């Protein structure tokens, strides 16, 4: 997932999640920070008044116009439902501030070189408003292009034009380096969060989702089912006489049997189905868009797969008992999940009581169990 050099590489799915999280973070952190650019713009007006008392008002009027644009874009992004405009508004503010810095400094007869220093300060705010290094590059190129056009029309001598261009390029170079450092830091933090999230929801032995992970997945699938109207089935399985395996062959052999069981069960499911270790020798599967008949077929494949498996290190095989519950319609996802678990557990208990190595579910009429 990561590389020792540069930003961490993520899968396509996680890359989209990273960009979404960055946009969300920018919106949460930068809704009010637009005032900083307005303050920087107006603050340099004090320098204008010091170096050129005769012309500073003309320069300050340019700064005020730019500050108004900054304030308007900031107020717009703070309107209800407009927060997603922040990344674009941040770029508008940066380009506006760059152009205003040069125009205001060009309106002075003295102190241009120091007055245009605000240009570098503005450009260096870019990394804090960009989603990633690519976004920052686009922003900086937009600012440079606008600046290049502006320098063709303002009244500046050749030395000042070259100096302004060099100033801007140097600031962009520093901004790009800073942006890459920040992006690498963001990616490392995001990758670490993914890893922690995965570890907290993954069974260390089998690599399947653990109880917490399956709880979350089950509720997610039921929420989807509520929107789509599709059924959802839950399969709860328990290896038969597993304690005998541990007692006879040792816990290491028992762990190997659990790992092999996980592989067999996974092979009986579709890619869209979820499989987890519910605890001990219990396994659980969540089958979205699967009715009672389809769930019974899957459960029977799982049962037969375990019964026909030769477990490494065991002289005898193993079997599994499975209880199957189906929710045809979902009104309350949380309540439906608890009911499915309770029903599947009841059918699992009945499978154990009736002789093990069998699947028990409700009949189509819901009146009696069938195996």
Between these two residues, 15 and 169, which has the higher pLDDT value? 169
**Alpha-carbon Rg of the chain, whole angstroms?**
32
Taking only the tens place, the pLDDT of each residue in 295-310 is: 999 999 999 999 999 8
Neighbours of 347 (CB within 10 A): 23
On whether both 127 and 159 belong to a single domain, the answer is yes
Say how far apart CA 119 and CA 164 lie, in whole Å: 9
On whether both 258 and 342 belong to a single domain, the answer is yes
Q: Which domain holds residue 179?
A: 12-200
Using the predicted structure, report yes or no on whether residue 361 has a pLDDT greater than 90. yes
Helices 251-267 and 292-307 cross at an angle (nearest 10°) of 140
3-state secondary structure of 111: coil
- Which is nearest to 305 in space by CA: 263, 275, 271? 263
Number of domains in the chain: 2
Taking only the tens place, the pLDDT of each residue in 176-195 is: 999 999 888 888 888 888 88
Taking only the tens place, the pLDDT of each residue in 27-85 is: 777 777 778 888 888 888 888 898 889 989 999 999 999 999 999 998 888 888 888 88
Q: Which DSSP category does 202 fall into? A: B
On whether both 80 and 114 belong to a single domain, the answer is yes
Is residue 252 situated within a structural domain?
A: yes
On whether both 185 and 218 belong to a single domain, the answer is no
Is residue 4 situated within a structural domain?
A: no
Residue with tokens 């969300």: 24
Last residue of a domain, one of 200, 228, 251: 200
Q: How far is CA 82 from CA 34, 93, 135, 206, in A?
A: 15, 16, 20, 45
Say how far apart CA 41 and CA 21 lie, in whole Å: 30
What spatial distance separates the first Cα and last Cα of the chain, rounded to whole Å?
A: 45
On whether both 150 and 252 belong to a single domain, the answer is no
CB 285, CB 265: distance < 8 Å? yes
**Residue 10 has what pLDDT?**
67
Beta bridge partners of 274: 286
On whether both 215 and 265 belong to a single domain, the answer is yes
Is residue 284 situated within a structural domain?
A: yes
On whether both 108 and 164 belong to a single domain, the answer is yes
- Which is nearest to 243 in space by CA: 262, 257, 264? 257
Last residue of a domain, one of 143, 178, 200: 200
pLDDT band at 130 (very low <50, low <70, confident <90, very high): confident
- Which is nearest to 171 in space by CA: 147, 145, 140, 150? 140
On whether both 75 and 187 belong to a single domain, the answer is yes
Say how far apart CA 344 and CA 347 lie, in whole Å: 5
**Residue 363 has what pLDDT?**
57
Q: What pTM was computed for the model?
A: 0.60
Is residue 316 situated within a structural domain?
A: yes
On whether both 120 and 189 belong to a single domain, the answer is yes
Q: Which tokens hold the place of 152?
A: 């063709």
pLDDT band at 133 (very low <50, low <70, confident <90, very high): confident
On whether both 166 and 226 belong to a single domain, the answer is no
Neighbours of 213 (CB within 10 A): 19
């Amino acid at each position: 997932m990561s590389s020792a050099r540069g930003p961490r590489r993520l899968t396509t799915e996680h890359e989209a999640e990273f960009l979404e999280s960055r946009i969300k973070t920018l919106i949460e952190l930068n809704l009010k920070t637009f005032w900083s650019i307005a303050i920087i713009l107006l603050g340099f007006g004090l320098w204008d008044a010091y170096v050129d008392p005769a012309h500073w008002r003309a320069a300050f009027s340019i700064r005020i116009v730019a500050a108004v644009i900054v304030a308007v874009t900031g107020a717009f992004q703070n309107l209800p439902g407009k927060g997603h405009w922040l990344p674009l508004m941040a770029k508008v503010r940066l380009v506006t501030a760059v152009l205003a810095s040069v125009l205001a400094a060009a309106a002075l007869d003295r102190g241009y070189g120091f007055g245009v220093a605000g240009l570098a300060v503005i450009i260096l705010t870019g990394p804090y408003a960009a989603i990633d290094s690519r976004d920052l590059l686009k922003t900086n190129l937009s600012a440079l292009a606008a600046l290049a056009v502006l320098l063709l029309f303002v009244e500046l001598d050749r030395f000042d034009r070259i100096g302004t261009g060099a100033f801007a390029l140097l600031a962009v170079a520093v901004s790009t380096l800073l942006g890459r450092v920040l992006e690498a830091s963001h990616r490392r933090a995001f990758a670490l969060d993914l890893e922690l999230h995965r570890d907290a929801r993954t069974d260390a032995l089998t690599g399947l989702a653990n109880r917490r992970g399956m709880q979350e997945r089950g509720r997610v699938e039921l929420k989807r089912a509520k929107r789509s109207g599709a059924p959802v089935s839950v399969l709860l399985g328990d290896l038969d006489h597993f304690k005998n395996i541990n007692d006879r062959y040792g816990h290491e052999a028992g762990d190997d049997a659990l790992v092999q069981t996980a592989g067999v069960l996974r092979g009986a499911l579709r890619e869209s189905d979820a499989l987890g270790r519910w605890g001990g020798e219990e396994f659980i599967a969540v089958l979205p868009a699967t009715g009672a008949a389809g769930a019974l077929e899957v459960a029977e494949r799982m049962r037969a797969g375990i019964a026909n498996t030769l477990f490494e290190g065991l002289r005898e095989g193993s079997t599994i008992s499975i209880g199957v519950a189906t929710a045809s319609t979902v009104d309350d996802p949380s309540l439906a999940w608890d009911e499915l678990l309770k029903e599947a557990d009841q059918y699992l208990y009945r499978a154990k009581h009736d002789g093990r190595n069998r699947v028990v579910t409700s009949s189509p009429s819901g009146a009696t169990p069938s195996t």
